[in-house]
Amino acid sequence: MDKQDIFGQIDGIEERMGTTYAELGALKKRIITLIEENKRLSIENQQLRKLIRQEETVIEEPTRDMAEEPVQLPGAGYDNLTRLYNEGFHICNVYYGHLRTEGDCLFCLSFLNK
């Protein structure tokens, strides 16, 4: 084999590897987007099922006062944010709602510790 042929083959392999790496990066971003959307839809589905159950109990209990609003206890918002963070989402103002892919976020943790 000629030296030029060997270097030509190596250059071709290197170029294909770069293209494959770029495609892999784009695929990874798409997967992250799909995982975030899936998690968001799962949470929305749970909330809708909870609302349906609440409405079913209201229909079954006609004596209940319809003007009654559910009372939120103090700290319920904090509990919700903690739950979201534990489920793998950012709660900081920088990346709010995005999936945490690389472990803990210092911004989120500082917000929780306030």
Of the candidates 111, 51, 53, 50, the residue with the CA atom closest to the CA atom of residue 82: 111
How many other C-beta atoms lie within 10 A of the C-beta of residue 85? 19
109 is in an annotated binding site: no
92 is in an annotated binding site: yes
62 is in an annotated binding site: no
103/3 Cα distance (integer angstroms): 47
98 is in an annotated binding site: no
Q: What is the pLDDT of residues 38-49, one digit of tens each?
A: 988 888 888 888
Q: What is the pLDDT of residues 58-105, one digit of tens each?
A: 776 655 555 555 544 457 788 888 888 888 888 988 888 888 888 888
